């Protein structure tokens, strides 16, 4: 260990990115303090700081692998809690471009846990670490810095009710995991640094979610029924069955075509989905709550890696760096991958420099960002440059998905890429491309890329 102090790290935000950051920081820091504005103790349901937690979430295959590496036995713990699990493409029913993909078992696990439940289990594991402490119901007022502003030295905190005065909590490292609303760009400006430039893909997405008690089982051996939006039908849904026997239906609509919250409108929207069994299942089902909506205006990637200067003692992780269109389920998994990069960064560097870390996670972000942005640009109303690479990628993917309706091997190959386990280049291997071309030509392509 170098002479550089690794006494205390402070993590701002106790969402999944913050929890995973705390887990790896506890390997090299004597004390890790996790700060959040919400109450955390005993909470297993949605909370104010994670409003999208009321809606369907996915942990991709690579994220599941990382969680099991960081928390051995987590899968068994979730199973013991009654949470269903199965194969990502063998036990989930997927519709792309109006066609059901041929199921195949890949060995890639999907856990049918809601975001709050999964987060509660992970939070329990992190809280059990002797070096980690949580401070809940606490407001983050800003950063403390050295006199020359070259180093962040701590954070300014205050109890949520305002009963106490602001206090400075000193830290050798501050990790901002506060999500899309991260104030680091503004804090940088206050300290005399440049803001990172931002890449945006405006999609004007909304989720509307409701829970039901079904009278008949539409699932069979499947955990969820997922008709994915396409240019031909830009309405989608996620319809998982939950551990308590209820079902969660999250309807999705982009470019202002948002799912309604009234009973009649909600049902009418569900009736237009590519999976007709969803409407049949809910039309006579017992609603367990009122529909709630969450809006997501744009995917945003902050290019911290391009900055020339960045203060020591500060890092950003999770949605504060890159916030993805949530229909692709990439957020938690990318946060897990970033946490592993942070782990490597801390073990391999005496002083955890921000720019080196951001350059390290940039290569992680490139693949999911390109996958999501390219897929979004397949919708004619989404604004952005449709390069030759984007047009060819969408045309090839439409053909692959068409062929996968009859070829389970292609379904498996697709989900290994979508799950961030294999690289996109794996879909261009000659053996895969030949199956795509044969299958796509034989059966036709239902949803072609937008010009």
Domain ends where: 364, 385, 405? Answer: 364
E strands within 214-268? 224-227, 235-240, 247-253
* Nearest of 63, 97, 111 to residue 418 by alpha carbon: 63
The H or E element spanning position 423 is none
* Nearest of 300, 279, 335 to residue 180 by alpha carbon: 300
Q: Encoding tokens for residue 269?
A: 């929207």
What residues of the chain score a pLDDT lower than 70?
1-5, 49-53, 162, 349-352, 440-451
Q: What's the structural domain count of the chain? A: 2
Q: What is the dihedral of CA 76, 80, 85, 86, to 10 degrees?
A: 70
Q: How far apart are CA 371 and CA 417, in angstroms?
A: 9
pLDDT in tens, 129-163: 999 999 999 999 999 999 999 999 999 999 887 67
Q: How far apart are CA 21 and CA 348, in angstroms?
A: 16
Is 137 within a domain?
yes
The pLDDT, as a whole number, for residue 350 is 58
Is 206 within a domain?
no
The pLDDT, as a whole number, for residue 445 is 43
Is 441 within a domain?
no
Q: Are 296 and 206 in contact (CB under 8 A)?
A: yes
Mark whether 38 and 183 lie in a shared domain.
yes
Q: Are 177 and 33 in contact (CB under 8 A)?
A: no
Q: Helix or strand or coil: residue 150?
A: coil
Is 16 within a domain?
yes
Is 336 within a domain?
yes
Mark whether 127 and 50 lie in a shared domain.
yes
Domain ends where: 274, 297, 320? Answer: 297
Is 392 within a domain?
no
Q: Are 9 and 29 in contact (CB under 8 A)?
A: yes
Q: Which residues contact 201 (CB under 8 A, 6 or more apart)?
A: 298, 299, 325, 372, 373, 376, 377, 382, 384
The pLDDT, as a whole number, for residue 45 is 72
Q: How far apart are CA 321 and CA 301, in angstroms?
A: 6
| Domain CATH code at residue 146 | 3.50.50.60
Q: Which domain holds residue 336?
A: 8-57+116-197+303-364
Q: Helix or strand or coil: residue 149?
A: coil
The model carries a pTM of 0.92
**CA of 424: how far to CAs of 6, 238, 328, 414, in Å?**
38, 24, 15, 9
Residues linked to residue 175 through DSSP beta bridges, in sequence order = 11, 315
Q: Give the other-Cβ count within 10 Å of 139's Cβ.
A: 15
pLDDT in tens, 162-174: 677 889 999 999 9
Domain ends where: 297, 324, 340? Answer: 297
The pLDDT, as a whole number, for residue 40 is 87
The pLDDT, as a whole number, for residue 5 is 60
The pLDDT, as a whole number, for residue 164 is 73
């Amino acid at each position: 260990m170098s002479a550089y102090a690794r006494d205390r790290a402070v993590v701002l935000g106790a969402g999944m990115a913050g929890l995973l950051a705390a887990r790896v920081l506890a390997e090299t820091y004597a004390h890790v303090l996790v700060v959040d504005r919400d109450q955390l103790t005993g909470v297993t349901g949605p909370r104010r700081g994670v409003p999208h937690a009321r809606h369907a979430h996915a942990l991709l295959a690579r994220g599941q692998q990382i969680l099991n590496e960081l928390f051995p036995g987590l899968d068994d713990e979730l199973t013991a809690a009654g949470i269903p699990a199965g194969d990502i493409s063998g036990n989930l029913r997927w519709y792309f471009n109006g066609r059901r993909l041929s199921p195949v078992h890949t060995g890639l696990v999907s856990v049918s846990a809601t975001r709050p439940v999964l987060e509660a289990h992970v939070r329990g594991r992190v809280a059990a670490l002797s070096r980690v402490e949580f401070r809940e119901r606490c407001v983050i007022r800003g950063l403390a810095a050295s006199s020359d502003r070259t180093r962040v030295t701590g954070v300014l905190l205050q109890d949520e009710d305002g009963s106490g005065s602001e206090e400075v909590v000193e830290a050798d490292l501050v990790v901002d995991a506060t999500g899309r609303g991260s104030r680091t760009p503004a804090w940088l400006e206050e300290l005399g640094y440049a803001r990172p430039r931002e890449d945006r893909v405006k999609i004007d997405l909304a989720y509307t979610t409701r829970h039901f008690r079904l009278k008949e089982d539409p699932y069979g051996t499947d955990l969820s029924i997922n008709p994915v939006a396409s240019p031909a039908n830009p309405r989608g849904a996620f319809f998982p069955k939950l551990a308590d026997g209820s079902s969660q239906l999250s309807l999705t609509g982009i470019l202002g075509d948002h799912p309604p919250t009234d009973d009649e409108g909600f049902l009418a929207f569900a009736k237009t989905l590519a999976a007709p069994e969803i409407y049949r299942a809910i039309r006579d089902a017992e609603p367990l709550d009122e529909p709630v909506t969450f809006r997501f205006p744009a995917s945003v990637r902050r290019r911290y890696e391009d900055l020339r200067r960045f203060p020591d003692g500060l890092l950003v992780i999770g949605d504060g760096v890159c916030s993805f269109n949530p229909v692709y389920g990439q957020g938690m998994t990318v946060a897990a991958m970033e946490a592993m990069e942070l782990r490597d960064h801390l073990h391999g560097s005496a002083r955890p420099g921000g720019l080196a870390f951001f350059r390290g996670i940039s290569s992680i972000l490139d693949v999911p960002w390109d996958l999501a942005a390219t897929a979004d640009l397949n919708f004619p109303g989404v604004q952005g440059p449709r390069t030759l690479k984007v047009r060819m990628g969408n045309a090839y993917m439409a053909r692959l998905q068409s062929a996968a309706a009859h070829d389970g091997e292609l379904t498996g190959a697709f989900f290994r890429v979508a799950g961030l386990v294999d690289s996109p280049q794996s879909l261009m291997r000659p053996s895969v491309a030949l199956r795509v071309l044969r299958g796509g030509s034989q059966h036709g392509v239902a949803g072609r890329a937008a010009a």
